Structure 1
Amino acid sequence: MAKKRAREADGTSGAAGKMVEDSESSDDDDFDMVNVDFEWFNFTEIDFHGTKSLIRQLFDVDSTLFDVSALADLILSQPTIGSTVKVNGEESDPYAFLTALNLHEHREKKPVVELTKYITEKAKTNEALAQVPELLSSGKQVGLVLSERLINMPSEISPPMYGMLIDEIEAAVGDKEPYEFSHYLIISKTYHEIESTLDVEERKRKKGKQDATLFYFHPEDEVLQKHAVAYGSYPFTKIDEAIADSKRAFQEMGVMPRGSMILIEASKFADAARAVKEYLSAPS
């Protein structure tokens, strides 16, 4: 299948044609400009392993609680809802993906049963997410938005993905397919920096003085939250402080990831996507 939407170099289409990573030269270092063409595709069978890897990254240590293969198969079973992003043509592995699953429509399928149970339990750990369990048990059509990308992918790929998803869902509803959602529930990740448990004798780690500043793996989440009826983070089931040390990003700080949920009413989802585009789109 051809690419879903070519990104024009002049920036006149819904997404720019090229994203350029460049660094200015200095007296001390010289950097080369790197040109990268991103292409958007529908899901195909070739994306199975890449999608699995990105799902594992999204759910972090808790990905072992799910049948990730079955979840990837379910995503690939609706190829025209959502996108993959690639740089080496359709036959290559995806570097990013975004999709929406109807939790009510698939409520009897194993991966959705597992996910719904997990989401419900995690939402109960944060009062800010109190609406989520009630909504999931109400029988309403909730679209579960799953989105992940490789760590070094530019955030500017996100706006076109959301824009395409909205167009595709609108077309699917027009064809009487089950995508007329009442809400969208976005699963994502945040993290805190915490003092490392390494070199304890040298630095005498002080418990209870962890940096509570919240950071976003996906910058668009901060924008999406402004349009949400509920949002919040939750601890991973299998997380521990050793995980934070293994993800150490700074000399004396570890990275403690947390799961995140953002609940948006369907009537406000398009506005949220437009806000993401305004915030993240590459300049023309």
Structure 2
Amino acid sequence: MGKKRSREVDAQGDTPMEEPIVEKRDASSDSDDDESSDEDMNIVNVDFELFNYDPEIDFHGVKTLLRQLFDADAQLFDLSGLSDMIITQNTIGSTCKVDGKENDAYAFITVLNMQEHRSKKPIAQLIEYLSERAKTNQDLAGTVPELLASGKHVGLVLSERLINMPAEVIPPMWRFMIEEIEAAVEDKEPYEFTHYLVVSRTYHEVESTLDQTVRKKKKGRAEAELQYFHPEDEEMRKHALASGTYSYIKENEFVSDSKRAFQEAGIKPCGFMMLIEANKIQRAVQAITEFVGTAT
């Protein structure tokens, strides 16, 4: 894939990504189909395009995805201010859209210099929040709070996509962003990071609290395995200096039941952080590229 765009001009040469999406069709609608076949599979090609941020278009789409990224704790942050910071930093990161630039983003990625912007309200809130949440996880407590207080230039990576968006759109977004960071460093812009702090989401399946008068709790049930909303996170964390989950401050005991989605187990979302040294980010991106390419 060619370079997404030049840093000197607006996004006119954005590169489309053609990604096959499977659409199921009821076989009974075709009289000539084999009766033993339950359904056919049609391949629909969808062009996902990457664009620079446009302050006239992208505010609401980015804010919606940020609200999804921070889940129950989204209300703790100035998401409007954070969205403005992201869309005005339009030479770094991308939106991913279908059917042209004028639509809302289906996915986005960006990196913000936490030291450079630490006096601004949205970043000050996130520094305090991420430091405190990291202290609740022993795998994060020894590195993240100290690093965020050290004055080093840490790149905060924020990335989210709509549910059911294919993971294949993410590696190109990472690769283009790394290229843009390198170009920015050459231009003496403040993107020479020592580390990247990636914020994401995970979840556990938990036993529902509903219908317990009818259904007995399973005794000795093993602790639920960590699940990833973004499958590439499982691979990327292998390259992290530190990684781990944390509970949301505003989580509600009934949230897991509301997200049961017609199954016995509920879903308990958790925040997730990965701290990656700058000299290892290229290998991490290559790893998720290979991982996503083989995932089914």
Per the alignment, residue 128 of structure 2 pairs with: 117
Q: How far off is 1:166 after superposition?
A: 0.3
Question: Of residues 52, 65, 70 in structure 2, which corresponds to 1:42?
Answer: 52
Are residue 98 (structure 1) and residue 109 (structure 2) matched? yes
For 2:268 and 2:205, locate their aligned partners in 1 and report how far apart those are by CA, in whole Å. Answer: 6
Please give the residue correspondences for 1:265-276 in structure 2 after superposition, counting only pairs within 5 Å: 265-276=277-288
For 1:200 and 1:122, locate their aligned partners in 2 and report how far apart those are by CA, in whole Å. Answer: 32
Bigger proportion of residues as strand: 2
Are residue 63 (structure 1) and residue 108 (structure 2) matched? no
For 1:90 and 1:276, locate their aligned partners in 2 and report how far apart those are by CA, in whole Å. Answer: 27
Deviations 1:129-157 (A, max 9, x none): 02000000000000000000001100000
Question: Where does structure 1 differ by over 6 angstroms across 4 or more consecutive aligned residues?
Answer: none
Structure 1 range deviating more: 198-207 or 258-267: 198-207
For 2:67 and 2:215, locate their aligned partners in 1 and report how far apart those are by CA, in whole Å. Answer: 33
Please give the residue correspondences for 1:141-160 in structure 2 after superposition, counting only pairs within 5 Å: 141-160=153-172
Structure 1 range deviating more: 25-34 or 108-117: 25-34
Structure 1 range deviating more: 237-246 or 82-91: 237-246
Deviations 1:3-27 (A, max 9, x none): 55424xxxxxxxxx31011268771
Deviations 1:158-195 (A, max 9, x none): 10010001000000011110000000000000100001
**Secondary structure at 2:190 match in 1:** coil
Kindly provide the amino acid, as one letter, of the partner of residue 22 in structure 1.
Answer: V
Per the alignment, residue 32 of structure 2 pairs with: none
Per the alignment, residue 11 of structure 1 pairs with: none
Per the alignment, residue 77 of structure 1 pairs with: 88
Per the alignment, residue 127 of structure 1 pairs with: 138
For 1:248 and 1:3, locate their aligned partners in 2 and report how far apart those are by CA, in whole Å. Answer: 43
Contact 1:98 1:146 in 2 (8 A): yes
Kindly provide the amino acid, as one letter, of the partner of residue 104 in structure 1.
Answer: Q
Q: How far off is 1:278 after superposition?
A: 1.1
For 1:47 and 1:281, locate their aligned partners in 2 and report how far apart those are by CA, in whole Å. Answer: 29
Q: How far off is 1:208 after superposition?
A: 7.8
For 1:259 and 1:208, locate their aligned partners in 2 and report how far apart those are by CA, in whole Å. Answer: 26
Per the alignment, residue 15 of structure 2 pairs with: 6
For 2:219 and 2:269, locate their aligned partners in 1 and report how far apart those are by CA, in whole Å. Answer: 18
For 2:280 and 2:18, locate their aligned partners in 1 and report how far apart those are by CA, in whole Å. Answer: 29
For 2:243 and 2:135, locate their aligned partners in 1 and report how far apart those are by CA, in whole Å. Answer: 12
Contact 1:22 1:33 in 2 (8 A): yes
Per the alignment, residue 32 of structure 1 pairs with: 42
Per the alignment, residue 12 of structure 1 pairs with: none
Gap change, CA 1:260 and 1:208, over 3 Å in 2: farther
Contact 1:197 1:205 in 2 (8 A): no
- In our comparison, the structure showing a higher alpha carbon Rg is 2
Kindly provide the amino acid, as one letter, of the partner of residue 253 in structure 2.
Answer: E
Are residue 163 (structure 1) and residue 175 (structure 2) matched? yes
Question: Of residues 207, 228, 231 in structure 2, which corresponds to 1:195?
Answer: 207
Question: Of residues 179, 183, 204 in structure 1, which corresponds to 2:191?
Answer: 179
Per the alignment, residue 22 of structure 1 pairs with: 22
Q: How far off is 1:250 after superposition?
A: 4.9
Per the alignment, residue 244 of structure 2 pairs with: 232
**Secondary structure at 2:42 match in 1:** coil
Per the alignment, residue 293 of structure 2 pairs with: 281
Q: How far off is 1:281 after superposition?
A: 3.4
Gap change, CA 1:65 and 1:275, over 3 Å in 2: same
Contact 1:194 1:210 in 2 (8 A): no
Q: How far off is 1:241 after superposition?
A: 2.4
Q: How far off is 1:207 after superposition?
A: 8.4
For 2:125 and 2:89, locate their aligned partners in 1 and report how far apart those are by CA, in whole Å. Answer: 19
TM-score by length of 2: 0.88
**Secondary structure at 1:94 match in 2:** coil
Q: How far off is 1:249 after superposition?
A: 3.5
Identity %: 58
Gaps of 5+ in 2: 1-9, 28-35
Gaps of 5+ in 1: 8-16
Structure 1 range deviating more: 123-132 or 32-41: 32-41
Q: How far off is 1:205 after superposition?
A: 3.6
TM-score by length of 1: 0.92
